[in-house]
Structure 1
Amino acid sequence: MRAVCWHGKHDVRVDEVADPQIVSKGDVIVKVGLTCICGSDLHLYNGYVPTMKKGDIMGHEFVGEIVEVGSGVSRFHVGDRVIVPFPISCGVCWYCKHELWSLCDNSNPNSWMLEHLYGDTGGGIFGYSHMYGGFSGGQAEYVRVPFADVGLEKIPDGIPYEQVVLLTDICPTGYQAADNCNINPGNTVAVWGCGPVGLMAMMSARHLGAERVIGIDRFPDRLQMAHSQCRAEVLNYEEVDVAEALQNMTGGRGPDSCIDAVGLEAVGTGIEGFYDSVKQTLRLESDRASALRQLTKACRKGGTLSIVGVYSGFVDKFPMGAIFAKGLTVHAGQAHVHKYLPHLLKLVEEQQLNPSSIITHRLPLEQAPGAYKTFLNKQDSCIKIVLNPQAQGAAATLGSKQASAV
Structure 2
Amino acid sequence: MKANCWMGRNTVEVQEVPDPRILNARDAIVRITSTAICGSDLHLYDGYIPTMKRGDILGHEFMGEVVEVGPEVTRLRVGDRVVVPFPIACGNCAACEHGQFSVCENSNPNAGMAEKLMGYAPAGLFGYSHMLGGFAGGQAEYARVPFADVGPIKIEDDLPDEKVLFLSDIFPTAWMGAEMCDIKPGDTIAVWGAGPVGQLTVACAYLMGAEQVISIDRFPYRLEKAKRAGAQTLNYEEVDILDALREITAGRGPDGCIDAVGMEAHHPTTALHAYDRAKQATRMETDRPYALREAILACRNGGTVSVIGVYGGLIDKFPMGSLMNRSLTLRSGQCHVQRYLEPLLGRIRDGDIDPSFVISHRMRLWDAPRGYEMFKNKQDDCNKVVLSP
Interval containing the TM-score (normalised by the shorter chain): over 0.9
Offset of residue 282 of structure 1? 1.2
Amino acid at match of 1:80: D
Aligned residue in 2 for 1:251: 250
Aligned residue in 1 for 2:123: 123
Secondary structure of the 2:114 match is helix
Aligned residue in 1 for 2:71: 71
Residue pairs, 1:184-263, within 5 angstroms: 184-228=184-228, 230-263=229-262
Residue pairs, 1:135-146, within 5 angstroms: 135-146=135-146
User: C-alpha distance in 2, partners of 1:69/1:321?
Assistant: 52
**How well do the aligned residues superpose, as a CA RMSD in angstroms?**
0.6
User: C-alpha distance in 2, partners of 1:283/1:30?
Assistant: 38
User: C-alpha distance in 1, partners of 2:353/2:238?
Assistant: 32
User: C-alpha distance in 1, partners of 2:95/2:259?
Assistant: 24
Amino acid at match of 1:192: W
Aligned residue in 2 for 1:368: 368
User: C-alpha distance in 2, partners of 1:125/1:140?
Assistant: 16
Amino acid at match of 2:41: D
Please identify, of 141-150 and 281-290, the stretch whose mean Cα deviation from structure 2 is larger: 281-290
Give structure 2 stretches of 5+ with no counterpart: none
Aligned residue in 2 for 1:348: 348
User: C-alpha distance in 1, partners of 2:353/2:239?
Assistant: 32
Amino acid at match of 1:353: I
For residues 75-106 of structure 1, the C-alpha deviation after alignment (integer angstroms, 9 at most, x for no partner) is: 11000000100000000000000000000000
* 1:4 paired to 2:4: yes
Residue pairs, 1:3-402, within 5 angstroms: 3-228=3-228, 230-269=229-268, 270-389=270-389
User: C-alpha distance in 2, partners of 1:98/1:196?
Assistant: 28
Secondary structure of the 2:214 match is strand
User: C-alpha distance in 2, partners of 1:162/1:184?
Assistant: 30
For residues 131-164 of structure 1, the C-alpha deviation after alignment (integer angstroms, 9 at most, x for no partner) is: 1100000000000001000111001221111111
Offset of residue 30 of structure 1? 0.1
User: C-alpha distance in 2, partners of 1:184/1:70?
Assistant: 45
Secondary structure of the 1:293 match is helix
Amino acid at match of 1:244: D
- Equivalenced residue count is 388
Aligned residue in 2 for 1:400: none
User: C-alpha distance in 1, partners of 2:242/2:9?
Assistant: 35
Amino acid at match of 2:388: N
Secondary structure of the 1:318 match is coil
Amino acid at match of 1:312: G
Offset of residue 39 of structure 1? 0.5
User: C-alpha distance in 1, partners of 2:47/2:291?
Assistant: 20
User: C-alpha distance in 2, partners of 1:53/1:283?
Assistant: 18
User: C-alpha distance in 2, partners of 1:251/1:325?
Assistant: 21
For residues 249-304 of structure 1, the C-alpha deviation after alignment (integer angstroms, 9 at most, x for no partner) is: 00100000000000000002321111111111111111001111111110000000
Amino acid at match of 2:261: V
User: C-alpha distance in 1, partners of 2:24/2:289?
Assistant: 41
Please identify, of 265-274 and 21-30, the stretch whose mean Cα deviation from structure 2 is larger: 265-274
Offset of residue 352 of structure 1? 1.1
User: C-alpha distance in 2, partners of 1:74/1:365?
Assistant: 31
Secondary structure of the 1:131 match is coil
Secondary structure of the 1:380 match is helix
Give structure 1 stretches of 5+ with no counterpart: 390-406
Offset of residue 350 of structure 1? 1.1
Find runs of 4+ consecutive structure 1 residues off by over 2 angstroms.
Answer: none
